[in-house]
Amino acid sequence: MIKKEEALGYHSAGRPGKIKVVPTKPTATQQDLSLAYSPGVAEPCREIARNPEDAFRYTARGNLVAVVSNGTAVLGLGNIGALAGKPVMEGKGVLFKRFADIDVFDIEIDSEDPAEVIRTCQLIAPTFGGINLEDIRAPECFEIERTLKETLDIPVFHDDQHGTAIISGAALLNALEITGKAIEDVKVVFSGAGASGIACAKLYKDLGVRSENLLMTDSRGVMHSGRAAELNEHKQEFVQETDARTLADALDGADVFVGLSQAGLVTKDMVRSMAPKPIVFAMANPDPEISPTDVRAVRDDAICATGRSDYANQVNNVLGFPFIFRGALDVRARSINEAMKQAAVQALAELARRGEAVPQVVRRAYPGEHFDFGTEYIIPKPFDPRVLLYVAPAVAQAAMDSGVARQPIDIARYEQSLQQRIAEVSSL
- Residues designated as active site: 37, 92
Residue-by-residue DSSP string for 314-348: B--GGGTHHHHHHHHHHTTBS---HHHHHHHHHHH
Report d(CA 68, CA 83) in Å as an integer.
Answer: 12
Integer angstrom CA distances of residue 58 from 21, 29, 36, 55: 17, 21, 11, 5
Q: Which residues contact 154 (CB under 8 A, 6 or more apart)?
A: 125, 128, 129, 130, 131, 333, 334, 335
By C-alpha distance, which of 85, 92, 137, 88 is closest to 113? 137
Whether 266 and 190 have beta carbons less than 8 Å apart is answered as no
Pairing of strands 214-218, 221-222: antiparallel
Report d(CA 125, CA 101) in Å as an integer.
Answer: 20
Integer angstrom CA distances of residue 378 from 32, 176, 363: 51, 10, 16
Whether 378 and 305 have beta carbons less than 8 Å apart is answered as yes
Sign of CA dihedral 239, 242, 244, 250: negative
Report d(CA 34, CA 192) in Å as an integer.
Answer: 56
